[in-house]
Amino acid sequence: MESFRKFVQGWLGRTMLVLVLAVFVVTMFWDTTPPGAQGELVEVNGEKIFQGELDQAVESIMGRYAGQIDRETLSKLIDRNGVLESLVRQRVLVDAAEDLGLVAHPATVQQSIQAIEGFHDESGKFSEQIFQQVISRNGFANAAAFRQRVADELLSSQLTGALRDSAFATRGELELLTRIGEQKRDLSWAVLSPAAFVATVNATDAEAKARYEGNPAGYMTEEQFAIEYIEVSLDQYAASQVPTDADVQAKYDQMVAQAQQGAERRVAQIQVSTAGRDQQQALVRADEALAKIAAGESFASVAAAYSDDAGSRDSAGDLGFVSRGVLEPALDDALFALKPGDVSRPVKGADGVYLLKLLEVREVAVPPLAQARAGIVAALSRDKAREQYDGVLEELGNLAYESDNLQEPATKLGLVVQSTGLFGRSGGPGIAASQKVLKEVMSPHVLEDGQNSAVVAVDESRSVVLRLKEHRKPERRPFEEVAGVVRNEIIREKAAEVAKQKIENVRKAVAGGTSLEAAAVAEGATVQVATGVQRNDTSVPREVLLAAFRVKKAEGGAVAVTTAEMAGGAWAAVAVGTVVDGTLLGVPPEQVAALRGELAGEFGRAEFNRYLDEATAQADVVRLRADDKKSATDALE
């Protein structure tokens, strides 16, 4: 039944699922409402999504593929408007979950974070240092921001799971899809390529001339550009910035302080929930629990008797190691004020009153100064150079704006004017490969007005100002220069038409009762045969497979025949003989049950998508302004 699984997961299976469920997809559209406040992109049910959130989401995607795809290429592939729509739908989903009374418990959030393997060290334990590095690389401002993201995802996953798990599939639905998905067909096909008929056709001068004249926008030279530019890099100033020993020591001391601040703490808790009781009642119960601990009872036994958190009370309240910013602020402050073995006073949380016990402190390792020195010196040198670099860029921008050439700014700043060769709109080697540079070259003030550009940040440590040096607009190439190209186009089209006509002759012959083999031989084609073919077969050309399963099976043992256009202008005649529908007969009951479960899962996913589409359509979504940065689709247009 592996083919059934692939069928359900494929395009046709999904189409059938849509038909069975009668799911109608609501298409979102981009609304060009007047600009909102600075940085505000969309308002969802009264809550705004800011430019920073979109940038963070995009940076998270960038970080996920760091080291696999270079940032510039990746930035072209990411559709920022698509990411923004995902943020809107995520916000709608979280709102819907909250409206239904679902919650993401802080302890569950913390446990989820610690379970993420990307935050583990080589020993498989959660590492605060790795955690901070990863979330920073993925665009999160701090641990609290990441914690909120995890909480939102846990909240939405509860609703997602509830919707998906409620779906079911009947045996009749499974039989229908099995009949289609497991269907097998015997087929044969003959292919004729235009290449076989190129020698039998020709193109006259008159035909070539007529095509050339009839296509005035065709046969043009490529538009080309050449620029001159001044490049400024951070590295060219870093070499001259040598930090003092005192600077190095201060930076090292800062690293040690940060490590101490970021030390992980293993915590146990007793949670007295405010569900079913008010906060005063919860405080009284927490005080009772604290009194028992003070009287000598173990924290574990009191947790078992008093804690409302089912996930931790049977394990002595132990939540494992946490870092600063993982718990909600009040609990975070209380925990990091404790010494090992101490128990806190009752602390008010979002959903109850807590007693916290600090079990253990795990320090973040800091290498000795001698070992860390080289990295510190490099970082300080670049930090010191940054101020000089930024100052040069500011002055360069002003000088470029005031000048009608680049040589004058370069001379004043001791820089060099460089130039590129010709390149097209898709870019070229070196600096011309940068999409930011290309965008500036195509801007009206550079391309049309011939002005110097503003400062363009190619990356975090390299910037340029540029000027158009040469612009070669597209020109129509003379007929004599492209005559051969035009003739070859006509010949290929005529040869493809011959192949198409001959395959049509084959189809008519087979439809009239001639075997495919005989009809194919008459037109100079050979036949290939495949038996018991299913929809996911990879041994049969895709075009042939689609045609074979698109044609209606013939009755009474007859052969059904159709044609299919192949790649490169080739054509195929496809004959379908015996067709055997899929069946559940003979499939063990446990496998049938598993297949129904898989089908129910697909139904659940479709039901969830339908719910989210409707919820998004009904939500109060206001487009405040478009994203400042183009999507990948926009950038490629």
- Per residue in 248-286, pLDDT (tens digit) is 888 888 877 777 666 778 999 999 998 888 989 999 999
Between 93 and 562, residue with greater pLDDT: 562
- Are the CB atoms for 307 and 313 separated by under 8 Å? yes
| Buried-state track 357-383, b at ≥16 Cβ within 10 A, e below 16 | bbbeeeebebeeeeebbeebbeebbbe
Is pLDDT at 546 greater than 90 in this prediction? yes
**Helices 143-165, 80-99: crossing angle, 10 deg rounding:** 70
Lowest mean pLDDT across 134-148, 471-485, 580-594: 134-148
> Which residue, 627, 461, 455, 631, is CA-closest to 75?
631
Q: Quote the Cα angle for 67-68-69, to 5°.
A: 100
- The pLDDT confidence band at residue 620, using thresholds 50, 70 and 90, is confident
Residue 446 pLDDT greater than 50, yes or no: yes
Query: How far, CA to CA in Å, does 535 sit from each of 224, 321, 592?
Result: 47, 51, 20
CA distance 605 to 87: 19
628 pLDDT higher than 60: no
C-beta separation of 302 from 293 below 8 A: yes
Q: What is the pLDDT of residue 627?
A: 56
Written out in words, the top-level CATH class of the domain with range 264-362 is: alpha beta
- Checking if the pLDDT of 104 tops 60, the result is yes
Contact yes or no for 410/417 (Cβ under 8 A): yes
Alpha-carbon radius of gyration of the chain: 34
Q: Please give the Cα distance from 21 to 613 (Å, whole number).
A: 15
For residue range 116-170, what is the model confidence (pLDDT) as tens digits? 888 888 778 888 778 877 877 766 767 777 888 888 888 878 877 777 677 677 7
4 or 363: whose pLDDT is higher?
Answer: 363
Residue-level pLDDT at 502: 96
Residue 413 has pLDDT above 90, yes or no: yes
15 backbone dihedrals φ, ψ, rounded to 5°: -65, -45
For range 355-384, the mean pLDDT = 83
Chain mean pLDDT for the chain: 84
Task: Assess contact for 581 and 182: CB atoms under 8 A.
Answer: yes
Mean pLDDT of 367-378: 82
Say if CB 410 and CB 399 are below 8 A apart.
no
425: alpha, beta or left? (left if phi > 0; alpha if psi -120 to 50): alpha
Query: Would you state the pLDDT for residue 355?
Result: 95
Instruction: Look at residue 229 and tell me whether its pLDDT is greater than 80.
Output: yes
Q: Is the pLDDT of residue 484 over 60?
A: yes
Instruction: State yes or no: pLDDT of 307 exceeds 90.
Output: yes
* Domain layout of the chain by residue ranges: 2-170+600-636, 184-219+485-580, 224-244+374-472, 264-362
2-170+600-636: CATH topology is: Triger factor/SurA peptide-binding fold (1.10.4030)
pLDDT given for residue 517 in this prediction: 95
Predicted local confidence at residue 23, as pLDDT: 29
Query: What predicted TM-score, i.e. pTM, was given to this entire model?
Result: 0.51
